[in-house]
Structure 1
């Protein structure tokens, strides 16, 4: 798990802005001499492009559907045993009570192939693609999040680096072990001094004089599967020589480390609020001798490895959370259908109806995002990093709200252990924290988008220096700005949606146009200083998150209606309700982002926070002490 930091330091924000930690998010601009040799690949991310006021619809319309009929049938047959595993073998309450998953349960999971879901069949895995894996994540999320962490820490991040960056020899050696030979894997990045700020890790690996080994020393904390793993993806500082300057610099390198190398030990399992069944420990490395062939990726490019591991697996959280929400809604609905108060079933009360509707809206949007992303990834998309970050934020916060509301609907019964909701709530709390805290990911979304929009503004500035040679580009930009500013032209989503969703599409399009204008206004106003305006960036991120939710549901509901599926009317209504609610939130966030009054509010908030920290807590006179 990544360390839990709320708001990072200014250094962290600068690191994000420079893409030292999240460097894979936005393609870097090549030098002019390189750009001339290799055509620049267009960024197809829907979210990145709306920051610059441009609609790129490829990834969102029509709703992606990459699985063939044969694959869909295969998926069902592959997942049926997992459904039976959770109903007949696994016991989530027992796992939670004992803070451990018993050996028989884990053995059954291994026998099902559950630990090698995305490992190619030639290495002993099930060979599922991202969409099939997401479907399994839903099943896990609906049944046992603690076991899900054991499973996910093993393959979603534990050995994912070997799948992404492993040499043929590394894959041949390790993938069969972690897929089917009951060899657990873990992802070891976080240290006491480095949570979301991965640049500050202190573990160090020194190359031996004969260049055959690295000697690793250091420690990691909060490592999921840390006490179980025999194979770990470990990140440590290494001395690298700059090929251009000859200067020596410390850069992070990724390694495949086996416990059998010696010098690898782990502490006792941590006592946690939730996901108690998952094994979480400190891991210590003392003079661990790592063969040079166990470098994962290139030396000095460990950040790239870490980032892409996290980015490539983050979509699974959205799918998992959608399954958890579905379970919570089922529990709440069963109670609402049977519970009688004041002479009628509580499902007749408007307050309960509002809760259930909102819970279903959040679940639908979360699920729509998760499978839109997974299918884009399966179709070969490289531009999904903003979308996966948004999905992680939205799903983890929505799931917490849905579970909380389910408990409220059940009243006192919801607070009791028997219903399972209190365990789900405890388990859910971590998801807003690990794999990048939601606060850091919001800054990542906003800064990545702002960076992309800023590059576009620079292109316009360069064009204006030589207008005669760039008339087409200048007129196009001038026309777009003029029409959207006065409410004419702008984004048109009408051709992408069914007639029933035209009004919702208009609202969403208006939000996209306002979002683009607000981003540009903020950029012009603050320029590079925008990195210091975290609250403004948060408003931009929140608006972006809601826009993506609207787009994902518009697209999915349109597909459902066009196929005339039995759920079409309900999905259309979910989408309409979401567009109304989300539009209001988007407009509010964007007004605040561009409001001059926000600066005064931000200054006041900063003053309050500083005083609270100076006083180590609350700073006010006790009521009974007033004279």
Structure 2
């Protein structure tokens, strides 16, 4: 089997074009105009209709708020124009989601779920008849979409799904229970992966179904009481022998897992964009605090440790914006999508947004712990993002597994420095050295452990974290090169670029120098004894 293509080669093989793509939030000038208009509409909508404190306190979004959003076309932004939507690219949709996320996570999640996980299967896989039947009403918001995968025994392990759809003549009988369904309380149409034993010659295959939620046998559980994003609807959906016509099949039979990979790319990326918006809100609130709060006769922004935190927040935000722009542009290139790039976006955006919200609370001092300030809500709202759309630990496993399938020799031969302007060539040379170190680590781990490298999760975590840091570095450097070529790079941009690249290089270097089987074994033994003390003897001696 041919080695899996790595994202570094993908960018470096067409670096000039990638550098240009990192400069904007739309595929072309016409779409940029649409995005600017939508963004202005979202700003006005949020100021007039969105009260984050009330949404949080009521644990619901007033239906009038969602109706106003529908009137702006926000429920149709990813639906093709021929069906009444805006037909936005992934890049443009992410820009709108950033704006929504900056104002309120509950509203952003509700709209983002509809446009991402809720709609992507139908847009990408639907038959002409399915699209014509549903998309026009989904574009106006007359119908709202949701996505139902999680079960009590199947979270990140989608293959463990037990909900089944059994053939009965020319129909299917759907039975099972899906939990934690976002938009579940008011959605009209669900994309449901279900086990279809024997269908298409597969004993254990999954098939996707489009399920109208007004059918007999569908019922909804109570709304969940959550830590954050309290205004979004989250409930259980029960399917009790729901009869579906054969026309409800979405995509190919028994190819559900393959289809889900594409759907999840969109879902994770739009969700990651919302996290960037929340991170921007955290930075804005923090800047107001540190430039107004005085201690020891000075505004606290004067102090070195505060400056260090502000610089980190701004640099990370710059890196995430750069990676979002470049990765979503790659999605436009062809059918391959951005399977590995979307993993990096999800990991980095969720973890750095959490860190930004945490620092916002810290720099607000005691007032940050008081709900009325609004900063604590950011911390509560962002926490779920490291769990849903795939727990970050599982996604690190997937990213590292992909990395171990790359051609380490080709990876070691890649060079950025010759393509980079002299102003940032030292940073590019450092990147090249770290990329070679990554290639060496991949080769050494595979040589030492063979096929078992795919189950050594502590080593995998290091690999995934190094890959993420280096990919983000490449995106930052590409954006800087694009700005330099366009004549728009100034000292402020170069300082920002160098600052965040320093952090990313240090993170990559740390991970690549931390492979230590002795320490991994020690951690495994400590954890195993603790689990045994809790009544569970672990089967594996190491991990």
TM-score range, shorter chain: over 0.9
Residue 303 and residue 59 in structure 1: after superposition, are their counterparts in 2 closer, same or farther (change >3 A)? farther
Segments of structure 1 that go 5 or more residues without pairing to the other structure are 1-27, 30-41, 457-476, 485-489, 618-627
C-alpha deviation, 1:57, in angstroms: 4.6
Alignment partner of 1:608 is 2:526: yes
- What is the DSSP-based 3-state SS (H/G/I as helix, E as strand, rest coil) of the residue aligned with 2:240? strand
Could you tell me which residue of structure 1 aligns to residue 429 of structure 2? 506
Give the Cα–Cα distance (whole angstroms) in 2 for the partners of residues 451 and 340 of structure 1: 54
Could you tell me which residue of structure 2 aligns to residue 160 of structure 1? 120
Could you tell me which residue of structure 2 aligns to residue 287 of structure 1? 241
Alignment partner of 1:526 is 2:449: yes
Equivalent residues in 2 for 1:276-425 (5 A)?
276-380=230-334, 382-425=336-379
Give the Cα–Cα distance (whole angstroms) in 2 for the partners of residues 148 and 582 of structure 1: 29
C-alpha deviation, 1:83, in angstroms: 1.2
Higher Cα Rg, which structure? 1
C-alpha deviation, 1:499, in angstroms: 2.1
Q: What do residues 341-362 of structure 1 show as CA deviations (whole Å, max 9, x unaligned)?
A: 1111211110110010011111
Alignment partner of 1:217 is 2:161: no
Alignment partner of 1:575 is 2:500: no
Give the Cα–Cα distance (whole angstroms) in 2 for the partners of residues 307 and 169 of structure 1: 23
Give the Cα–Cα distance (whole angstroms) in 2 for the partners of residues 61 and 157 of structure 1: 27
- What is the DSSP-based 3-state SS (H/G/I as helix, E as strand, rest coil) of the residue aligned with 1:285? strand
- What is the DSSP-based 3-state SS (H/G/I as helix, E as strand, rest coil) of the residue aligned with 2:76? coil
C-alpha deviation, 1:419, in angstroms: 2.4
Greater than 6 Å deviation, 4+ residue runs: none
- What is the DSSP-based 3-state SS (H/G/I as helix, E as strand, rest coil) of the residue aligned with 1:556? helix
Could you tell me which residue of structure 2 aligns to residue 15 of structure 1? none
Could you tell me which residue of structure 2 aligns to residue 559 of structure 1? 482
Residue 118 and residue 359 in structure 1: after superposition, are their counterparts in 2 closer, same or farther (change >3 A)? same
Give the Cα–Cα distance (whole angstroms) in 1 for the partners of residues 103 and 490 of structure 2: 27
- Mapped contact 1:45–1:56 kept (Cα < 8 A): no
Could you tell me which residue of structure 2 aligns to residue 587 of structure 1? 509
Could you tell me which residue of structure 2 aligns to residue 273 of structure 1? 227
Between stretches 505-514 and 369-378, larger displacement belongs to 369-378
- What is the DSSP-based 3-state SS (H/G/I as helix, E as strand, rest coil) of the residue aligned with 1:364? helix
- Mapped contact 2:5–2:406 kept (Cα < 8 A): no
- Mapped contact 2:109–2:271 kept (Cα < 8 A): no
- What is the DSSP-based 3-state SS (H/G/I as helix, E as strand, rest coil) of the residue aligned with 1:193? coil
RMSD of Structure 2 on Structure 1 (CA): 2.2
Give the Cα–Cα distance (whole angstroms) in 1 for the partners of residues 18 and 73 of structure 2: 34
**TM-score, structure 2 length as denominator?**
0.94
Picking from 51, 68, 71, the partner of 2:31 is: 71
Number of aligned positions between the proteins: 533
Give the Cα–Cα distance (whole angstroms) in 2 for the partners of residues 179 and 44 of structure 1: 36
- Mapped contact 2:200–2:254 kept (Cα < 8 A): no
Between stretches 250-259 and 490-499, larger displacement belongs to 490-499
**TM-score, structure 1 length as denominator?**
0.81
C-alpha deviation, 1:381, in angstroms: 6.1
C-alpha deviation, 1:58, in angstroms: 4.8
C-alpha deviation, 1:74, in angstroms: 2.7
Between stretches 429-438 and 148-157, larger displacement belongs to 148-157
C-alpha deviation, 1:240, in angstroms: 2.1
Q: What do residues 125-172 of structure 1 show as CA deviations (whole Å, max 9, x unaligned)?
A: 122111210110110110111111111221210121100100000000
- Mapped contact 1:352–1:409 kept (Cα < 8 A): yes
Q: What do residues 258-284 of structure 1 show as CA deviations (whole Å, max 9, x unaligned)?
A: 122210001000000001000000110
Could you tell me which residue of structure 1 aligns to residue 538 of structure 2? none
- Mapped contact 1:46–1:56 kept (Cα < 8 A): no
- Mapped contact 1:339–1:345 kept (Cα < 8 A): yes
Give the Cα–Cα distance (whole angstroms) in 2 for the partners of residues 55 and 120 of structure 1: 31
- Mapped contact 1:60–1:372 kept (Cα < 8 A): no
Could you tell me which residue of structure 1 aligns to residue 541 of structure 2? none
Give the Cα–Cα distance (whole angstroms) in 2 for the partners of residues 531 and 67 of structure 1: 37
Residue 242 and residue 141 in structure 1: after superposition, are their counterparts in 2 closer, same or farther (change >3 A)? closer
Picking from 7, 24, 47, the partner of 1:46 is: 7
